Amino acid sequence: MADSIKVFAPASVGNSCVGFDVLGFAVEKPGDELLLRKTEKPGVVIKSIAGDNGQLSTNPTKNTATIAIDAFLKDFGRETGLEVELFKNMPFGSGLGSSAASAVAGAFAANELFGQPYPIEKVLEFAMEGEFFASGAHHADNVAPCLYGGMTLIRSNSPFDVIKIPVPSDLWVVLLYPEVEIKTSEARSLLPYEIPLKTASKQWGNVAGFIAGFMSNDKALISRSMKDYVAEPYRSRLIPGFNECKKSAMDAGAMGFSISGSGPTMFAFCTSEESALEIGKAMSVYYIENKIGHQLFISQINQCGPKVL
């Protein structure tokens, strides 16, 4: 059995437009890398963190990756020492599941390093321990797709019941991250505590249509189901240029457009790599013209979740 392992865990898009707290999908890039190494001294330590500009704590009780690893070790019943090197390759507070990627990387790496003693459902529980520390909630709409890959439906968070949804093989995603900070707590506080039954009924119809579109490879159905009545109307107010960016994407041929998680990252579904490149250019125009820093990622949906490097 190896003494060390290096893994990659992908970024993810929570909510996926209409599926507030219950839908999410993983992308091929960006993502985090984690190196896990056995040591003689018991306990989990963080040797180094790169790519975080000094923002993350090296205290293993305050990092989602090492919290997940510690949860694994406690259940596994080993006094093994483990050393972690974390490479952050995605922006913080972006709505791309940065904390979830680190938690999944930690839990997945530990399970692989010790010979896969646990099924994926149990690894999800370990990863959620880390995510709970970061978000204060047991919503798995980032952790589940990051771990399972593809599009996931979280039917229940207690107990976890995750269903993987088929994804059209030619579906591409454009992600645009405007470099502004939006706190998840602020984005969640904007949402209404109650919604009218008529609004809820329209949302249910779109959630069902969205999933049916993925199940049947019906892109037209996916497209016309991508209207969110629950989160987007409120959270979009926090994102500079949201309306301009959405209009540009749709005018350029996007299948649909919405917010990734609580934002500020926005995403657009596209039918090919060529169209994704053009739509990405169109989405960037507002931010270039207004001199707002931003990052653009173009990717297919990640179908396998984390992987050993």
Q: Which two tokens stand for residue 73?
A: 């070790």
Cα separation values, 267 from 165, 176, 188, Å? 19, 6, 19
pTM tops 0.85, yes or no: yes
d(CA 144, CA 210) in angstroms, rounded, equals 18
Q: Which residues contact 139 (CB under 8 A, 6 or more apart)?
A: 14, 21, 154, 157
d(CA 244, CA 232) in angstroms, rounded, equals 14
- Three-state helix/strand/coil letters over 7-18: EEEEEEEECCCC
State how beta strands 81-87 and 23-39 pair: antiparallel
Domains in the chain, please, with CATH? 4-165 (3.30.230.10), 172-300 (3.30.70.890)
**140, 21 Cβ separation under 8 angstroms:** no
DSSP secondary-structure letter at 297?
E
309 residues of the chain, pLDDT tens digit each: 689 999 999 999 999 999 999 999 999 999 999 999 999 888 999 999 998 888 888 999 999 999 999 999 999 987 889 999 999 998 888 999 999 999 999 999 999 999 999 999 999 999 999 998 877 777 899 999 999 999 999 999 889 999 999 999 899 999 999 998 877 777 788 899 999 999 999 999 999 999 999 999 999 999 999 999 999 999 999 999 999 999 999 999 999 999 999 899 999 999 999 999 999 999 999 999 999 999 999 999 999 999 999
User: What is the DSSP track for 121-155?
Assistant: HHHHHHHHHHHHHHHSS---TTHHHHHH-SEEEEE
Active site residue ranges:
131, 184
CB atoms within 10 A of CB 143: 37
Half-sphere exposure of 136 (CA within 13 A, CB side): 4
d(CA 182, CA 205) in angstroms, rounded, equals 29
